[in-house]
Structure 1
Amino acid sequence: MITGLVTEFAKLAHATVVRVTTVLVVLGIALICAAMLLAVHTDDPQLAAKLGPLIDPGGWAGYITVAIQVTGAAGFVGYGVVLSWLFSREFADGTITGLFAIPVSRPTIAAAKLVVYLAWGLVTAAALLFTLIVLGLASGLGAIPADVVPSMARQFGLSVFTIVLATPAAWAATLGRSVLAGIGTTIAILVLSQVSVISGAGGWFPFAAPALWAINSDITVTPVQLTLVLPVVAVSVALTLSSWRHLQLDH
């Protein structure tokens, strides 16, 4: 397992797609939210309506609420892209054949990919929250009120939920042997999440429930609904490991 972790970490650390996605997830989301802060003082009623929480309730509370909304969608796509790349690159680079000749089992390699991905995801989640705080202070929001700290904790929690909920992309990328299969699955899940929220069933859709919980919306998300995330992630991981165990070179 140690060998697999070291190898997969080296691959991830030197990958351009991971570096670019890290920048987009951390700086991209934070800069979008900070840029929206600059547009708060506007006389345009249509733009004011679009800014929503940044105007009401405004301040740190509105800023973090917007960050949660952006993270729920953009973060999920970003994590899905990296996970899809991690599990499809062996097929794209033609290195999958070499994995059949090394002493490390294929499920172990897949598990190492998941562990490295999780570690990277947690680092980006922490970096995103830190960057949001720095840009919020730089934008003149002032000291962070005590009642906003729980919202910041939910922002980080949503990132963690988003990281683990992207795991179906790993299975899809393995089955499709393509990064596009994983990314397509990620986008499809995101669309279904939006549909579930619009229909009022978002609390019972594991991919949408964490965002509703984090934003503390009028839609109440119960602990039971949040725990539905666990079986979804467990099944996705199990299917991914099983697929790598039964990989064949001819198809």
Structure 2
Amino acid sequence: MIGISKYQFYDTHAHLDFEPFTDDMPRTIDLFLNAGIKQVMIPAVTRDKFDRLINISASNPNVYTIALGLHPLYIQSHTLSDLDYLETLLCTKDNSQIKAIGEIGLDAFLMHLSEEKLFKKQIDFLQKQLEMANRYNLPVILHSRRTHHVLLSILKKITVHRGGVIHGFSGSLEQALEFIKLGYKIGVGGIITYPRANKSRLAISKLPLESLLLETDSPDMPVYGRQGKVNRSECLIEIFQALCTLREEPAKVIAEQIWETSNTLFH
């Protein structure tokens, strides 16, 4: 059961612009606020989400922050005009709620040898958005699935001044440390609630506490025991509880440090 937390939390990755949240946004907000989630970052995935996210954040500025970017899974539909529109928004909008470029990155999970051209397009769009992050002094929210080695090589060539977060990290301790050396935080999600996720649980237990952020990736990536159900921001409490079992620091120290790290990165 999700209880009311005595700490305050920042869900640094939740797609609350998707159903079922858009059907009842006031209830969605009440549920996560009552659980102790005081701030939620909503990252975009495609151009058609940009204006919707701006409107969502404008209507709830004390609750939502947003990131605008083009997700690698939708690379077939992305066009150069989408990048131009993203830059136009960053130039002309009141972007006080736009705290990052994201969700961007690389994804080879669904890639086949015949799709090498699409992967090259992913790399091209990623590089262009990393450069855009520097032009507007924003951090990045990075998606990486079966591409950590490629992503690391790109980030070593293009230094993002504000850094960012490796979202939904499920790699090894060694890979996590490589990203941290480059100035990135590690997004800790529901995977650590799964007893068999030994590699990820070990990595998260040994990383510097100040390098960690908490995220749900709702409505996907449910925590253990909630498979098949909609993942919600208030499930962040269960991820925090799992994190506390993996770390040596007291729960209060963990909560306060992660809250500070999250706000420093995105504010």
TM-score (normalised: structure 1) = 0.28
Q: Which has the higher strand share?
A: 2
TM-score by length of 2: 0.27
Give the number of the structure whose alpha-carbon radius of gyration is greater.
1
Greater RCO, 1 or 2 (C-alpha within 8 Å, sep 6+): 1
